[in-house]
Chains A and B, each alone.
Chain A
Amino acid sequence: MSTYLDYLDENALPLMWCPGCGDGTILKALLGAFATLGLKRENTVVVTGIGCWGKADDYIRTNAIHGTHGRALAVATGVKAFRPDLTVVALMGDGDCATIGGNHFIHAARRNIGVTAIVANNLNYGMTGGQFSGTTPVGSRTSTSPFGHTENPFDLCRLAEAAGANFVARTTAYHFKQMGRLMVEALREPGFSLVEVVSPCPTYYGRFNKQGSASEMWRSLKERARSVGAGEAPPDDGPDAPILTGRLVNRHKPSFAERYAAVQAAAARAGEGAEPGAR
């Protein structure tokens, strides 16, 4: 029986993240999900972009590509399209996924490529000093919205659902067990899957918005979480809005790999001499 430690590069410790950050907790949940599924390190590929959570690959002993900002899903798509038998996971923050990489995010979901996106959403750019991102709530103070943020945030889960993802879930860094369960389900999904983890950034977002200490931010995640099916849908902005958690979408449209395998089989049957239909 493997544990998360089988996937953790202990030589790389200590973690580079700030005290009170959610990323270490998310990392443990993710590696625990790998262990639950008994994933082979050889057959697992982690792809990251740039940002605090984008450094997670430094601590993971599977195959990994640490790439360019926002492009993790595009790199992951290349891996998965060529090797559909591998487990491919893209680790992104809200900057990578919802902002600079938003186009890749909606198209990965639309394409239903079998990649699991684990998005640590801390509502701002931690790595570069706390600027606003595509998920920063209206009114928030950040390094680049000193008078309050004027733009609407994305609801990443609703975006993924509308774009066509098979599996969409949200949790928070506080909800460790739920996070692990949802990650296991996401990793089993043959199509595109998203687990959004709302996570605290006490160093920047919390400090700029007077959300108190790190422990107060974690307590707030606990108190604001609303399980799906337990009542009202939350408003989609505001720093104190409830957080709808749980499995939000679970459907079974054929994945990219399934459909493309059918194309490959048909093309192989047709042989070299076949004329393409469109020509």
Chain B
Amino acid sequence: MARTAFLQGNEAVLEGALAAGARFYAGYPITPSSEIAELASWRLPGLGGVFIQMEDEIASMAALVGAAMAGAKAFTATSGPGFSLMQENIGLAVMVEAPCVVINVMRSGPSTGLATKPAQADIMQARWGTHGDHPAVALVPASVSECFSLTVAAFNLAERLRTPVFVLSDEILGHMRERADIPDTETLEIWDRPRPAGDPADYRPYRPGPDGVPPLGTFGGPYVFHVTSSMHDERGVSANDAKTAAASIARLVGKVSRNAQLLPRPEVVRSGGGEGGTGAGKPVLIVAFGSSARVARQTMLDHPDHPLTLFRPRTLWPFPEAELSALVDGHAAVVVAEMNTGQLVGEIERITAGRRAVGLAWRSDGEIITPEEIWAAVRRTPGGDGR
């Protein structure tokens, strides 16, 4: 039954995972994500699922790949240092096309950094952390309700696209308690990986379906198959020739972009009249995600007469480029707010392509960015009234 609950973000992630059908968790404890592991160890065995605490995050990510091929909806949760260790086998999951979900409750780095304090500084690691050309799918919740709903979406996307999917939460969201709407599991749309059909002798684990995603067998089922971290042909046999490599990379990268309609859409909120608004001052477009977007909402509340538009991606990677681009011309300036020294801003400058000045409100000291800091960035950005 649908319910309203008073939950922590990390609890909501676990609820979302279970609702999506997750039955395998492998992980290594790390602040500020450990509640997810603890809850998984409690909840999974009674559902016939498996929780296993591995020797490190390298092994955790490897175990997800194994379990995914054995039929599990598999996930792990970590934070910066663990996410770094996972990068190797995130690449493995990309290459063998193993559906799995990685929750990164981001904390301040580099290295051990400020282990108990928030940041949003792993977003480029999520995009490019593992080596080689590869797709990346990363969802960014901004509330406890979204910690639930975007975790469900992450499993759906992982299954549908046969690729690892990230949920980038942060220490604020992970440990914050607020009212959350938890829908009835029966009402959720739950997707499963595409399954092979036909003669098992003809099954090719890398032969794509019409959407570019190859159906996936299950170890122990009738479709015997071989997957590999090496460049390979449709049978999963190593192939070193340039033609096979070019086609494989194009399909791997393209299977996400060609299915972009599956990705959670951004939220756009207007105040003070917003775009073309009647409020005093020129309209400014604020781009923020996760916890920073909550702060940006406060900036808007603090300046109700100023036309401000918040563009809040729910999918950070691939970035919702067309939706943002369409809003740029209706605003006098763009301001990016993020809890790092400026990672997303480069992507926004690329999309804005010189049409408007792009300002930056940033913070990277383990403290939460403030509404005043975002407002100051609005005011100093050319067009936002910094001239």
Chain A residues at the B interface, C-beta cutoff of 8 Å: 12, 41-43, 45, 47, 57-58, 61-68, 71, 74-83, 85-86, 103-104, 107, 260, 263-264, 266-268, 270-272, 274, 276, 278-279
Contacts and interface: CB of A to CB of B under 8 A. Distances in A.
Given A43-B220, A66-B230, A83-B71, A71 B59 contact: yes
Interface string B36-77: 001001100110101010111011101111111111101000
Contact of B65 (A12, A67, A83): A67
B240 interface: no
A51 to B, nearest CB: 13
17 contacts: A62-B224, A63-B219, A63-B225, A65-B227, A66-B228, A74-B62, A76-B66, A77-B63, A78-B26, A78-B63, A78-B65, A78-B68, A83-B220, A85-B220, A268-B48, A271-B46, A279-B38
Contacts of B55: 74, 103-104, 107
Contacts of A86: 70, 219-220
B89 interface: yes
B280 to A, nearest CB: 53
B301 interface: no
Given A12-B237, A86-B219, A75 B62 contact: yes
A121 B60 CA distance: 26
A82 B23 CA distance: 9
Residue of A62, A66, A78, A80 with highest tally of chain B CB at under 10 A: A78
Given A62-B224, A71-B58, 6 more contacts: A66-B230, A71-B62, A74-B54, A76-B66, A78-B24, A270-B46
Contacts of B20: none
A64 B225 CA distance: 7
Interface of B: 23-24, 26, 38, 41-42, 45-46, 48, 50, 52, 54-56, 58-60, 62-72, 74, 88-89, 91-92, 96, 219-222, 224-230, 237-238
A107 B62 CA distance: 14
The secondary structure that dominates the A interface is helix
A81 B63 contact: yes
A269 to B, nearest CB: 8
Contacts of B63: 74-75, 77-78, 81
Given A66-B230, A270-B46, A276-B42, A79 B222 contact: no
Contact of B67 (A12, A79, A270): A79
A271 B60 CA distance: 27
Contact of A81 (B67, B69, B91, B225): B67
A71 B238 CA distance: 19
Given A41-B224, A107-B54, A65 B46 contact: no
A47 B63 CA distance: 12
A6 to B, nearest CB: 12
Given A42-B221, A47-B66, A83-B70, A68 B88 contact: yes
Contacts of B38: 276, 278-279
A278 to B, nearest CB: 8
Contacts of A47: 66
Nearest to A63: B219
A77 B45 contact: no
A268 to B, nearest CB: 5
A58 B219 contact: no
B46 A78 contact: no
B96 to A, nearest CB: 7
Given A71-B89, A81-B67, A267-B46, A63 B226 contact: yes
Contacts of A80: 66
Interface-centre pick from B38, B45, B219 (highest chain A CB count, 10 A): B219
A67 B62 contact: yes
Given A65-B65, A78-B66, A81-B52, A42 B220 contact: yes
A68 B59 CA distance: 11
